[in-house]
Amino acid sequence: MTDTIRIDKWLWAARFFKTRTLATNAVELGRVLQNEQRVKPAHHIKPGDLLEIHHAEQIWVIQVIRLADVRGSASVAQTMYQETAASTERRAQLAQDKKYFREPSAALNGRPTKRDRRLLDFSRG
């Protein structure tokens, strides 16, 4: 075990992203912050670092506990980090809000079709 590892490789090993390419792209686009700063995919992290990960309408704020450069099972991946209490609470609140209210345009990808447009107009009154 080393004392540092590339951030994109760790995100992949911790199962936040399915592939290293997706993890690399997320870091390049600024969707992953290390200690509240943008970093490059080759930047190294160490235990104790605080990561903020924006992924699929979720915002995770985690503290790195262990390092691994290989992708293991989900149970092993969950031992590599600890989510902050504020992050857990915020994600639970977001899930609760989403349960009771669903944005009509959230399911649309790209430009709405004629049928989608009619449904949006109908839902807005």
Residues 55 and 93 in one domain: no
Q: How confident is the model at residue 39 (pLDDT cuts 50, 70, 90)?
A: very high
Residues 7 and 53 in one domain: yes
Q: Where residue 63 sits, what CATH number does that domain have?
A: 3.10.290.10
Residues 64 and 8 in one domain: yes
Q: Above 70 in pLDDT, residue 1?
A: no
Other CB atoms closer than 10 Å to residue 21's CB: what's the count?
12
Q: Above 90 in pLDDT, residue 57?
A: no
CA nearest neighbour of 77 among 99, 89, 62:
62
Q: Which phi and psi (to 5°) does residue 90 adopt?
A: -65, -40
Report the distance separating Cα 79 and Cα 65, nearest Å.
7
Bridge partners, 59 (sequence order): 54
Considering only CA atoms, give the Rg of the chain.
18
Residues 27 and 74 in one domain: yes
Residue 106 vs residue 9, higher pLDDT:
9
- Domain residue limits at 96: 87-125
Asked if 61 contacts 32 with a C-beta cutoff of 8 angstroms, the reply is no
Looking at the 3D structure of the chain, how many domains does it have?
A: 2
